[in-house]
Structure 1
């Protein structure tokens, strides 16, 4: 998965872990707050770009991995990174940024963020610019179609000469192009869903967990149908600056521990849904 730019330089969003700070009246705003004192060390000697914080770059919204709820950013990725922040004895601070910066590692290399967590597929191209944690999620693509289109698969969509959409700069868009489509590109997952609702396209290719999240809404379930599951063998990872071995290892340990002690499964069921068959 990847997402495209929205023309901003980044905005901080309060997270569940910052609730206590907010209660004291300290407001997190775009850019660095007065409490930021520059680079520092967290527990275990891990370097962080802001003292007392683990700054995470993401691109909103992308439910169920990260999205705003009641003024805070929540989701599966957020919850996993909170575990890492706890290990480092800091709080997670989320910065909403253009996704194109993740492909080049720009926000990591410039010191704006410690890591990127945004439902990011590990690819050889991206690994040239950044380092990834071990995979934490096996992702598949899905074809979501309007019920009135009658589309049942990508082949069916092509045969019926229906319009396909995808989120720009994503692996879903890449897959559609490899299958011979020229998909309509949308800048965000919200725009993808709106494209379906307004009839700009008849179906879209996007990550399956996102489709799961959308179909939990009764209005969406009434209009759209999961036409096809597409196993592309993708795996998500968290990004760090190339060479940031200590933070990468801390991420790996947190993921491994969460899977071993059952925390991962609990978070999966809370934010995504039932565990895939055979996973425990």
Structure 2
């Protein structure tokens, strides 16, 4: 995904991004811990970085529609709302949630973490699961294609039509993988360190289209690039037909994983997660699936 925000020479970073997002065979041990019983998921029994506090990380700036006003602590925006809903299911009040800044590209690097979980539009891939643990998915992702309204590809209706386009993506995101595996452009996509750089490339007509996750595509067209439009969305698949999804990221082997899965499951079964998504993520109307 590109997202937000959206790191190393570009060539080196691009190679790393492809390696991280590739769907390599997965080890039997994915880094997730065994499920927890309801009793072991009570607040006083959770394995926390700071006793009595739930430490949550995300990137800065924290972009809409995932967060509101670059302020995760206000609980607004899709991921801000999800974080506090998960916290509530674990027994934490809003003032018991502590936010930390963690860059997207370093979040899934191996090693100890200073947070309990990171919520930052991080797609779950087998390669990333070799370094960190993930919760069950809280959002299923589709990739959106953005172009200028007067651009050459503004009226494209098929993936094949985009194969000759100059495409912008952010390094380290699954948008890059979607471009290379689904669009298969004749020219190498132009890879940028940040979302802003990728957005500016389209704005300045250095590229023909920008590929980002669909909710971000709505934000780009609404607030970042005048006279731009969503051309459409790519089919929602990964290699092997698995739907790409965002998960809460933890230190590998975190004993908190089962409790986060339980909280997300409760949010799904109660309908609360669907309501959060409906409120904060723009409908995909007007973004047809490209054939």
Please report the TM-score for the alignment, with normalisation by the length of structure 2: 0.71
1:126-169 Cα offsets, whole Å, 9 max, x none, are: 1111111111111011111111213015532334xx42100111
From 81, 95, 119, the counterpart of 1:79: 81
Give the C-alpha shift of residue 230 in structure 1. Answer: 0.5
State how far apart, in whole Å, the 2-side matches of 1:137 and 1:56 are. Answer: 18
Maintained 8 Å contact 1:58/1:116:
yes
Map residues 170-185 of structure 1 onto 2, 5 A cutoff: 170-178=173-181, 179-180=184-185, 181-185=187-191
Bigger relative CO (Cα 8 Å, ≥ 6 apart): 2
Distance change in 2, residues 1:251/1:275 (3 Å): farther
State how far apart, in whole Å, the 2-side matches of 1:214 and 1:92 are. Answer: 30
Maintained 8 Å contact 2:72/2:99:
no
Give the C-alpha shift of residue 75 in structure 1. Answer: 2.0
From 217, 227, 230, the counterpart of 2:231: 227
Equivalent in the alignment of 1:55: 55
From 256, 261, 276, the counterpart of 2:265: 256
Structure 1 residue matching 2:191: 3-state secondary structure: strand
State how far apart, in whole Å, the 2-side matches of 1:94 and 1:198 are. Answer: 35
Maintained 8 Å contact 2:179/2:211:
yes
User: What is the total number of aligned residue pairs between the two structures?
Assistant: 234
Equivalent in the alignment of 1:240: 250
Please identify which structure carries the higher strand content.
Answer: 1
Equivalent in the alignment of 1:14: none
Map residues 1-280 of structure 1 onto 2, 5 A cutoff: 1=1, 5=7, 43-60=43-60, 61-66=62-67, 68-69=69-70, 74-86=76-88, 87-89=90-92, 91-106=96-111, 109=112, 111-151=113-153, 152=156, 153-159=158-164, 162-178=165-181, 179-180=184-185, 181-217=187-223, 220=225, 223-231=227-235, 232=237, 233-245=243-255, 247-274=256-283
State how far apart, in whole Å, the 1-side matches of 2:196 and 2:86 are. Answer: 29
State how far apart, in whole Å, the 2-side matches of 1:129 and 1:184 are. Answer: 27
Structure 1 residue matching 2:206: 3-state secondary structure: coil
RMSD of Structure 2 on Structure 1 (CA)? 2.8
State how far apart, in whole Å, the 2-side matches of 1:213 and 1:269 are. Answer: 15
Please report the TM-score for the alignment, with normalisation by the length of structure 1: 0.73
Structure 1 residue matching 2:257: 3-state secondary structure: helix
Give the C-alpha shift of residue 47 in structure 1. Answer: 1.9
Give the C-alpha shift of residue 92 in structure 1. Answer: 2.2
Extract unaligned runs of 5+ from structure 2.
9-40, 238-242, 286-291
State how far apart, in whole Å, the 1-side matches of 2:118 and 2:73 are. Answer: 18
State how far apart, in whole Å, the 2-side matches of 1:72 and 1:45 are. Answer: 24
Give the C-alpha shift of residue 64 in structure 1. Answer: 1.8
Distance change in 2, residues 1:85/1:208 (3 Å): same
Distance change in 2, residues 1:260/1:275 (3 Å): farther
